[in-house]
Chain A
Amino acid sequence: MSAPLTDRDDDSALAGEYELGLLEGEAKAQAERRLATDAAFVREVERWRTRFAAFDDATPPLAAPEALWRKIEGGIAGQPAAVASAPSLWSRIWGDLAVMRGAAVGASLAVLVLAIGLGAAIRAANKQPVMVAVLLDGDRAGAVVQAFADGRTVLLPLTSISVPEGKVLEVWTLPSRERGPVSVGLMERARTLTLSLKDLPAPRADQLFEITLEPAGGSPIGRPTGPVLFKGNTALAL
């Protein structure tokens, strides 16, 4: 008990205090920031969650009324999954993904890890994405493109993207070098978007997708004109 505390002990205790709900004010805000950037800290918190989970598992269940479900159902009506959310929690949960930044994992590895994770999650759901692309800015993941066997290709944002007044987000793909970039979607803010690839061949491995900032209405010349916000190449979903 009297051994000197190491930095690692310090961090573990801090993660434990966070999970117990004992941090307040600046200490709590600081821990939440670290959850968004510090992979080792995220793992410490996860360890404490697992250690204490026995209490929750052992807590007797109570009746969950049908009326409560109806309130939830009403609350999510018209709200597509995962478009926006309260910033504090968003940043907290985002931490689970943003870990890659803090861990300074190379972008390609981040893509691989994300693609594996998504592949596994989606396979579990019995959907079959053929291709997955994680669109990145450096090593920050901004969106995922999933191409399904039935030809549907869907873009899912992973972060909020700030769009200045009078601008829109335009999604592009590069089916071949000869053909050049083709616009496949337009949106005023980051949201789930079904991409229009009907006139294009099904995405193949290593096909580029990118999101650029364009004037309202989309690029006037049918080619990207604005800055590239996020880009990434497809990989076979595992």
Chain B
Amino acid sequence: MSTSSQTDGAAEAQVAAALARCAGGDRNALRVIYDLEAGRMTGVARRLLRRQDLAEEAVQDTFMRVWRAARTFDPQKGSARTWLYAILRNSALSILRDEGRFTSDEDKQESAPMTESALALLPETSALRRCLERLDAERRAVVVLAYVHGLSHGELAGKLGVPLGTVKSWVRRSLLSLQECMG
């Protein structure tokens, strides 16, 4: 998580402290995390799963997992919010893959406008945005659509109309460029 602003730093500290209390069995601390993050988490899950019912299922599953695993969180290894959202992403992607292909209006959308509207979410100053914008449009699209909308290799190949092998190679090359650009 970006912790550049004071607000982010405060949220991070609050979540980290609440997680430590969860590890000690304090249910109120889980509620603190819910109050701080469940809204954003529902937004992220809805972005991936498109359906409100599935998004809520992912958030519920995430909080159950957080409760059970709170004591395995190690503040030395990374940010508490990053840990929280990693569990959410894992949970949402399992639901997404289990549900298989369910069609929605977004499935019919072209990759270019979908990618652009996802990129537009990011602040102009974001390093991620700047580095993504340096990639060719299609190479940018594969990474953005996989992260933001949870598209699989197969779904990316379908949407972009290219062979699976091409998608895989674009993804790898894009990741390496991003890594180089973002450090």
Contacts and interface: CB of A to CB of B under 8 A. Distances in A.
A14 B126 CA distance: 24
A3 B154 CA distance: 27
A46 B82 contact: yes
B72 A81 contact: no
A76 B46 contact: no
A64 B178 CA distance: 33
B92 to A, nearest CB: 9
Contact of A94 (B1, B72, B86, B146): B72
B10 interface: no
Contact of B89 (A21, A60, A116, A124): A21
A81 B70 contact: yes
Interface stretch (A50-58, A162-170, A182-190, A214-222): A50-58
B76 A54 contact: no
Given A16-B175, A55-B148, A127-B24, A68 B123 contact: no
Contacts, number: 219
Interface in A35-86: 42, 46-65, 68-69, 71-73, 75-76, 79-86
A92 interface: yes
Contacts of B83: 96
A117 interface: yes
A46 to B, nearest CB: 5
A93 interface: yes
Contacts of B41: 64
Nearest to A3: B176
Contact of B68 (A1, A24, A81, A122): A81
A113 interface: yes
A158 B1 contact: no
Given A58-B123, A121-B20, A96 B1 contact: no
B71 A81 contact: yes
A1 B173 CA distance: 7
B179 to A, nearest CB: 5
B57 to A, nearest CB: 9
Contact of A85 (B20, B25, B65): B65
Contacts of B141: none
A97 to B, nearest CB: 6
Query: What are the 10 closest A-B residue pairs judged by CB atoms, nearest first?
Result: A64-B38, A61-B39, A16-B175, A121-B20, A125-B20, A85-B68, A58-B121, A124-B17, A20-B146, A21-B93
Given A1-B177, A55-B121, A75-B64, 16 more contacts: A12-B176, A20-B147, A46-B82, A50-B1, A53-B2, A56-B44, A60-B43, A61-B40, A62-B55, A63-B39, A64-B42, A68-B60, A79-B67, A81-B71, A85-B68, A125-B24
